[in-house]
Amino acid sequence: MGSWLVPWGVPGAGATVLVCLPQAGAGCRQYRGWRAHLDVGAVIGVQLPGREERWNDPPADRFDQVVEVVVTELAAMVADDVHLVIYGHSFGGLIGYELARAWGRRRGRWPAAVVVAACRPPALWVGAGRGLVDDETELAALLGARGLDPKLLDEDSRADLIEILRLDARLSLSYRPGDGVTVPCRLEAWGGIGDETVTSGQLDGWSGYTTGPFRRRDLPGGHTFHSTSAGPALAALRDLLGTVASPHGPAGCRRVDPIV
């Protein structure tokens, strides 16, 4: 069994650490170049089984177990006083949000910020993956939202991609929002301009999931704006990191400046 975390850089004491969770069906190595563009000690990718170097690992089948394994490995990897920022894209945003909640419960301090990108709020995930499991039309629409035409993929590549997407869809079906779902830290919901998968109204719905500052951002590039138009996404991250990683305040969410 491979590690669930792939670090780039050294997550030393007092450092800002960016944890990145990819969209359904994808691996985390798409984030390996981000550290060169960001003022962080480390970027840590979350690698679910069944993709990239974990291709042969058995798939996860329970959402809560995924969160528990990731938070346990992360707690062993980073120091107590890091400025933790979580970025999750699409299905990765849902995992990232629950990771933030689990981190707060375990460590007694919260991430400095959580970014949920191209991601519906938790209540809208319940049962939402069933269509990807059962419906070829919905699956083709998701691939189209990512700029992938299934007809242009060779048979083996298409089969592999569909299998991973369906594994993640089945995993999402085990998700149940818990009680007290708000987090007391900065939460940002980012959307891709023209995204037909996640609407602006759905992103606005994240405002009810934090008692801390909330901000919406719209970025060019559609549903997968972090890869199709990485420049604006990285600029938004630099802006966010400059806000939360203040040398004048302690790590976590005990000091968060309001967004104006």
State whether residue 43 is helix, strand or coil. Answer: strand
**pLDDT value, residue 2:** 80
Q: How far apart are CA 109 and CA 131, in angstroms?
A: 37
Burial state string for 188-214 with b = 16 or more CB within 10 A and e = fewer than 16: bbbbbeebebbeeebbebbeebbebbb
Q: How confident is the model at residue 142 (pLDDT cuts 50, 70, 90)?
A: low
Joined tokens for residue 72: 């346990």
**Residue range 19-28: average pLDDT?**
93
The residue count of the chain comes to 260
Q: Quick check: 19 pLDDT over 80?
A: yes
By C-alpha distance, which of 194, 185, 4, 221 is closest to 101?
185
Domains of the chain plus CATH, in order, are: 5-122+180-244 (3.40.50.1820)
- Mean pLDDT check: name the lowest of 99-113, 117-131, 168-182, 201-215: 117-131
pLDDT in tens, 184-237: 999 999 999 989 889 999 999 999 999 999 999 999 988 889 988 789 999 999
Q: Which pLDDT value is given to residue 248?
A: 36
pLDDT tens-digit series, residues 30-41: 999 999 999 999
Q: What is the 3-state secondary structure (H, E, C) of 12-36?
A: CCCCEEEEEECCCCCCHHHHCCHHH
pLDDT at 163: 78
Average pLDDT, the chain: 84
Burial of 173 (0-12, 13-18, 19+ CB in 10 A): middle
pLDDT score for 197: 86
Higher pLDDT, 118 or 259: 118
User: What's this model's pTM, rounded to 2 decimal places?
Assistant: 0.86
The predicted model gives 65-92 an average pLDDT of 95
Q: Render pLDDT for 159-189 as a digit per residue (tens, 0 to 9).
A: 677 777 888 888 988 998 877 679 999 999 9
Q: What confidence category does residue 129 fall into, taking pLDDT thresholds of 50, 70 and 90? A: low
